[in-house]
Chains A and B, each alone.
Chain A
Amino acid sequence: MGTDGTMTDNGEVVDRTVSLDGIGGSAGFAIGRALVVDAGRAGVVHRRITPDEAEQEVVRFDRAVALATAELEKVAGRVKEEKGRAAAESSILDAYIYMLSDPTLREDVEREVNSGQKCAEWALETAVGVMCKQLRQTDDPYLAERSHDFEFVRDRLLRTLSGRNQAELIPESDEPVILVAQDLSPAETASLTKDKVLALVTAVGTRTSHTAILARALEIPAVVGVQGLLQHIGDGDTLVVDGVHGKVVVSPSQYVLDILQPKAEKYYAVARDLREHRHDPCQTSDGVAVHLMANIELVIEAEIAKNHGARGIGLYRTEFLYIDRQTPPTEEEQYAAYRLVVEAMGPLPVTLRTFDIGGDKFVSAIKMPRDMNPALGLRAVRLGLERPELLKTQLRAMVRASAHGKVRIMIPMIASLSEVRAVRALLSESVMEVDRAGHPHAQEIELGCMVEVPSAAIMAEELAREADFLSIGTNDLVQYTLAVDRTSQELARLASYFDPAVVRLIKAVIQAATFRKRSFSVCGAMASDPLAAVLLVGMGMRNLSMEASAIPEVKAALSRVSLQEAEDAAGMAFEATTANELESGLRRRFGALLRDILDPV
């Protein structure tokens, strides 16, 4: 694909606009030219060499190692200088630098060159292929995962050997580009800088893949998981990347561009403004403080949370630790992860939620019955109480993490008080076991529950008597209250947290917790919607936990509304009879005031 594709051979003007759907990996909006990066994976040279060429091929390999090492050291130095905070990124790079000059790798390559009569590229491909196969054959998922590191080293060297040395990925002193790749390794992503890269688009990945997480940390818009990406995009194509909705428009017509360009500029102006205020405290226009915290899934996201001004972690979804492995994580592994998060956030509080496995999240490490209706089946705390040894391992790790900062433990999917009591008993046992093992821990650890099943909302007052705090999970509360499967695309429009039934349940929880003098919060998607956040504050909510990237927007929205205005809105909410009525009422009231935040593009 060329850059002048709007004209065919006979001069006819055609619209080549292609719109691709992916997953919004990192919020933001960008228009620019594509730079397609193939990591040297496509088309490795396979040249049979003569014996007298062997020595020269080994020399080529050694030279590539030296060059690649120097390049990577440069990148590592820059990463350390620019983002000293993100030590994880630079230690990955250090490990790669070490592996580039690994003697085993060199020996294997030399052998392939000499006895296999292969050119350096081919020899390298073969040698690393054998190693990776060996690693993948182990039943240790951690070791199998290391094969990606070996492949990264291989790709780096292949690139250097081919003379297309893109250790920097992007040519120096060029205009900033939109990077398009099948996949980017953590090291490649970490080496990017905002002044060179407008956005990232990759064919593989999910919201929680490293590319997406690092892109969010670097504040580069990204769309990941775009299928068939490389068939549709060529070097130099103009792209519009919408990291909020996960959309990529390829070669938009001038007409489309004229519409999108001013929107992109506006988006940047708003984003810049929000960033400048990220560490300001969050308060309404009349000075009522609201605590904004972050929901995280991975340890590394704690850094992102802090950078977005989070005042703690309101929800750490620990089930991620159980995914993609054969056996459940040990107490030690979990403790290490929790401790990292707690220390990164210190002295701010971290709410560790026990695993929410089952429902729509299954993991291979735990055998589960086949429920007809998994969302109503053996899920979350039900699974934990069915398999107490599994839950206690996790609780012990959480108790131990409390020695390093402020830890709160939260139980998902509570449907009755008896479950709270059962978990409290297991927690007491876990504390004693931690004591017996001689590990330190905090004296008091709050145990709270999620309110996401209607029965819990109805019984909120009784729950609040025994639980130390309540946190409303709106995604599941919507699913169970409205009987709408949260994974259903067809029913998505019915699943609204503006539904009066949901709003009334939330109000009941707020009243119950206030009466019992317990702290309470919202930690579902509703908290990250600026319009809904205004409503929640009007209803008496002062703690909101959300995706870190939403914090600046929610903060800005709340700062423009007074408590009285928010309370008036809440009053109106109780009169609404449908979700639509409530949402459009809120939009009428606050739409103009919050327009730049609600509709940035």
Chain B
Amino acid sequence: MSEAEVSGTFEIINRLGLHARAASRLVQVASQFPCQVTVRRDEQVANAKSVMGVLLLCGAKGARVTVVADGENAQEAVLAIGQLISDKFGEQD
């Protein structure tokens, strides 16, 4: 179990990007972990446990986002979110 800050950069590959449903899924996954999780796109940083924040990132398909987790289970949180993004949030395409 890691305690340090962990980060990972992922490309949004689902067609619709970080839209409402994808944003909600991301928040649901992030909220399962006790650590602090943020998502960054360019200069913008959002709390990964906030649907409004994630929506405001306006992450379209092709955007690169960096997930940073700090605290308990940080490693697992980044991996889970990275997995979700590469699974296209469970969307068909």
Contacts and interface: CB of A to CB of B under 8 A. Distances in A.
Interface string A48-66: 0000000000000000000
Nearest to A132: B56
A332 B93 CA distance: 8
A104 B46 contact: yes
Interface string B33-57: 0000000000000110111110110
A142 B19 contact: yes
B55 A103 contact: no
B92 A332 contact: yes
A95 B19 CA distance: 13
A143 B19 contact: yes
Between A98, A102, A134, the greatest number of chain B beta carbons within 10 A of the residue's beta carbon is seen for A102
8 contacts: A95-B24, A98-B51, A103-B47, A104-B53, A131-B52, A134-B58, A143-B19, A150-B52
A517 interface: no
B60 A140 contact: yes
B20 interface: yes
A107 interface: yes
A103 B49 contact: yes
Contacts of B16: 142
A564 interface: no
A577 interface: no
Contact of B20 (A104, A105, A146, A330): A146
A443 interface: no
Interface of B: 15-17, 19-20, 24, 46-47, 49-53, 55-56, 58, 60, 92-93
Interface of A: 95, 98-99, 102-105, 107, 131, 134-135, 138, 140, 142-143, 146, 150, 330, 332
Given A98-B51, A103-B50, A140-B58, 12 more contacts: A99-B51, A102-B50, A102-B52, A103-B49, A105-B52, A107-B47, A131-B52, A134-B56, A140-B60, A142-B19, A143-B19, A146-B55
A150 B58 CA distance: 15
B56 A104 contact: yes
Contact of A135 (B46, B55, B92): B55
Contacts of A104: 46-47, 50, 52-53, 56
Contacts of B55: 135, 143, 146
Contacts of B46: 104
Contacts of A143: 19, 55, 58
Contacts, number: 47
B51 to A, nearest CB: 6
A134 to B, nearest CB: 6
Given A102-B51, A104-B50, A135 B56 contact: yes
A99 B58 contact: no
B56 A131 contact: yes
A122 B15 CA distance: 37
A187 to B, nearest CB: 14
Nearest to A331: B93
Nearest to B50: A104
A150 B56 CA distance: 11
A103 B53 contact: yes
A107 B60 CA distance: 25
Contacts of A105: 50, 52
A394 B55 CA distance: 29
Contacts of A135: 55-56, 58
A95 B52 CA distance: 11
A138 B59 CA distance: 10
A512 B18 CA distance: 53
B67 to A, nearest CB: 16
Contacts of A99: 51-52
Contacts of A103: 47, 49-50, 53
A146 B19 CA distance: 9
A140 B20 CA distance: 13
Contacts of A330: 15
A98 B24 contact: yes
A18 to B, nearest CB: 42
B22 to A, nearest CB: 12
Nearest to A147: B55
Between B47, B50, B60, B92, the greatest number of chain A beta carbons within 10 A of the residue's beta carbon is seen for B50
A440 B53 CA distance: 38
Contacts of B56: 104, 131, 134-135
Between A99, A143, A330, the greatest number of chain B beta carbons within 10 A of the residue's beta carbon is seen for A143
Contacts of A95: 20, 24, 51
Given A104-B46, A143-B19, A332-B93, A138 B53 contact: no
A302 to B, nearest CB: 21
Contacts of B19: 142-143
Nearest to B23: A146
A352 B38 CA distance: 44
A143 B20 CA distance: 8
A469 B52 CA distance: 49
Contacts of B49: 103
Contacts of A332: 15, 92-93
A134 B51 CA distance: 15
Contacts of B93: 332
Contacts of B50: 102-105
A104 B55 CA distance: 11
